Copies of this chain bind each other. A is one copy, B any other.
Amino acid sequence: MESVKDKCAVVGIGETEYSRDSGRTERSLALEAIKKAIEDAGLRPGDIDGIVKYAVQPETETDLAACLGIRHLSYFGEAGFAGGAGAALVRQAVQAIVTGAATNVVVFRAVNGRSGKRYGRGEVTGRGGRGDAAFSEPFGLIAPGQGAAMSARRHMHDYGTTSRQLGAIAVACRKHAARNPRALLRDPITLEDHQNSRIIYDPLHMLDCCYEADGAGALVITSADRARALKQRPAYIMATVQAAPGGGDGAHDRTETSAKHKVFAAAGVSPGDMDVVQIYDHFTPWVLMAIEDYGFCKRGEGGPFVEGGRIELGGGLPLNTSGGHLSEAYLQGMNHMIEAVRQLRGTSTAQVEGAELVLVDTAAGALILRR
């Protein structure tokens, strides 16, 4: 067994504009973000020999390679769990590089998530005979937010968590988004605005839900050795873990601590060492429970923990400094990973001074990056 700690780094990041209606194909968005990330790294498309994508991304690696002018791909892979694949994809890139399957690997996501398919609306998959959905669809549980609402209600019942505490997460993200010109929602909000926004899935208000958007983001990952010779300050990948608990990705049994906290042991650091965190925020209760999963506070204490500005810039644990899914754009974890790299380069619009360690939660996994 070979540790991959610090052996690779994110050396390029690229994003399209985030919008409500891109007017372009997801393929076109993907290519723009990938080309920007390659250029950001100081590389050329021909230097790329691996592409790793979200399994829900329909474009084929072959087609993208042809469009980019890549003659051969020596590594291609995907990971499932829809938008939760982020850390799994970075893990694959690292594994491919460390074992010599590829040298420079692109990870990307492109969605017309607002003008095209709206993930938040859910769909009847008709997969009743195939597994997971057999236990939820017949009861009308179709949209992702419905599950989040049930998890939130359970947390409220067990621990006395309040809707206002969930609101503190929405307020913090919006405060950070206000500083970020890329963010789609930049008007500051108060806890009262959160409370007054309409109920979407009881007990979740509209402002507990992420903002679906069109756009694309990409990373270029290479070995630490090559990274040092490139254009940008490398964001070293200390550790990545994937976590898919039996019977669900954690949504169905939040009383069990997620295996994602193992990312700290893998990196050899502790939650208290984190300068800033980016946590998958499709819905506010997931953020609150992830904070508990990672041990930033005890189980059930997430509510009081997020109050009082602790998760805002200047607080003890600044969170989602680009505005996250709630206020920047719902790019399914890709914008969180990009923002983490920005923090380590010192170029965030909500920069944490001297940030050296960032935790990124990607729903079905986690990674820790360091300067």
- Chain A residues with a Cβ under 8 A of chain B: 1-4, 25-27, 55, 58-67, 69-81, 88, 91-92, 94-101, 127, 129-132, 223, 241-249, 259
Contact = CB atoms under 8 A, between A and B. Distances in A.
Contacts of A55: 55, 78
Given A2-B98, A60-B132, A80 B76 contact: yes
Contacts of A60: 80-81, 131-132
Nearest to A258: B72
A76 B244 contact: yes
B76 A78 contact: no
16 contacts: A3-B99, A3-B100, A25-B129, A60-B81, A61-B80, A62-B81, A62-B248, A65-B246, A66-B246, A72-B245, A73-B242, A73-B245, A75-B242, A95-B99, A101-B241, A101-B242
A11 B315 CA distance: 52
Given A1-B98, A64-B131, 11 more contacts: A1-B97, A2-B100, A4-B100, A25-B130, A60-B80, A63-B131, A72-B246, A74-B242, A75-B91, A76-B88, A95-B98
Contacts of A95: 92, 95-96, 98-99, 101
A74 B95 CA distance: 14
B99 A99 contact: yes
A59 B244 contact: no
A100 B70 CA distance: 30
A223 B1 CA distance: 9
B2 A132 contact: no
Contacts of A130: 25-27, 58-59, 63
Contacts of A72: 243-246, 259
Contacts of A127: 58
A264 to B, nearest CB: 15
A69 to B, nearest CB: 7
A333 to B, nearest CB: 16
Given A77-B77, A98-B99, A62 B247 contact: yes
A87 to B, nearest CB: 11
Contact of A61 (B1, B4, B74, B244): B244
Contacts of A63: 130-132
Contacts of A129: 25, 27
A90 B77 CA distance: 12
B101 A70 contact: no
